């Protein structure tokens, strides 16, 4: 007698007794109730999705390249929050990219979203070497964005770092660093010595046209630092005299600044005396007196 159907099914293995259907809607679907899906709230205003360090730097570079584009306020709010969270991961050169991106567009943000103050703290506390390009950018931006005390601490740090990478800093940017130090009442003889040697080589090679105001700027910067370097002032006086011969618009201002700085530092060398005599012959003033002129407008008056 053939076995019953039920007994035959029970004799089969479990994998063979499993019922399969072509779709998920089987005959027993009525036994189960669909659960309502509850989505968790995403705080997209607090984080940037897929914003790792590389993506953050790419975004900052795109912002720098898009100088004429106006980004919405929400973009700057999210970007500043992401930068503040990632500030400890950025190297000094990457911090200079961040500073340039915010300085170019000048977004109006709340005080707690200010990126410049944490950036200065990160630069001061960083143990990584600061490249010359980063020093040039940070010297140009951060003193304009920080208060006096924070700027003084930052400039002291940048002056120490600049002495180690002077070969990476252009001559004009090195002079800019000295000017910023003097603006905040700081003096650094070690930095002045290295900048003076760099400028001697730079001026000996000939900076070319368009730099007639450089001797005056250099002389004023070293006079403000109260640093005497006779060899440097020989180059400055000679270059100022050549500028007068070329008839450049800023040559007279530059020559007067060289003479004023030499008088302040009590530097009396043949090149400075020759420049003083040349100015006396050209502009008909007493060779013993150097009237104080600080701008082209005062000369015209």
What is the pTM for the complete model shown? 0.73
pLDDT score, position 176: 93
Task: Give start and end residues of each alpha helix (H) in the chain.
Answer: 5-11, 14-17, 53-65, 73-86, 92-105, 116-125, 132-145, 148-164, 171-183, 189-205, 214-224, 230-246, 251-264, 270-283, 296-300
Q: For the chain, which residues score pLDDT lower than 70? A: 1-35, 37, 39-51, 207-212, 248, 283-301
Taking only the tens place, the pLDDT of each residue in 270-279 is 999 999 988 8
pLDDT score, position 300: 42
pLDDT score, position 252: 86
The residue extents of the domains of the chain are 44-169, 191-301
pLDDT score, position 44: 47
Rounded CA-CA distance 117/110 in Å is 13
């Amino acid at each position: 007698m053939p076995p019953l159907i039920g007994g035959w099914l029970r004799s089969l293995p479990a994998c063979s007794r499993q019922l399969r259907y072509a779709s998920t809607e089987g005959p027993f679907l009525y036994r189960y109730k669909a659960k309502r899906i509850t989505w968790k709230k995403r705080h997209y205003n607090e984080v940037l999705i897929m914003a790792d360090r590389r993506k953050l730097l790419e975004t900052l570079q795109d912002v720098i390249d898009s100088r004429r584009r106006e980004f919405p306020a929400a973009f700057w709010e999210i970007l500043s929050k992401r930068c503040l969270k990632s500030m400890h991961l950025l190297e000094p050169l990457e911090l200079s990219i961040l500073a340039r991106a915010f300085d170019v567009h000048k977004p109006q943000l709340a005080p707690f979203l200010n990126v410049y103050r944490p950036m200065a703290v990160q630069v001061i506390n960083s143990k990584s070497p600061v490249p010359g390009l980063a020093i040039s950018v940070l010297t140009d931006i951060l003193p304009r964005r920080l208060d006096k005390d924070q700027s003084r601490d930052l400039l002291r740090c940048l002056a120490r770092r600049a002495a180690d990478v002077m070969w990476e800093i252009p001559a004009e940017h090195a002079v800019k660093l000295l000017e910023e130090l003097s603006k905040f009442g700081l003096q650094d003889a070690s930095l002045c010595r290295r900048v003076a040697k760099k400028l001697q080589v730079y001026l000996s090679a000939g900076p070319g046209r368009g730099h007639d105001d450089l001797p005056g700027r250099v002389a004023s910067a070293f006079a403000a630092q109260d640093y005497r370097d006779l060899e440097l002032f020989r180059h400055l006086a000679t270059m100022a005299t050549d500028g007068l011969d070329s008839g450049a618009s800023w040559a007279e201002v530059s020559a007067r600044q060289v003479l004023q700085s030499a008088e302040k530092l009590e530097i009396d060398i043949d090149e400075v005396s020759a420049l003083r005599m040349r100015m006396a012959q050209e502009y008909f003033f007493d060779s013993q007196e150097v009237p104080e002129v600080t701008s082209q407008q005062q000369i015209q008056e």
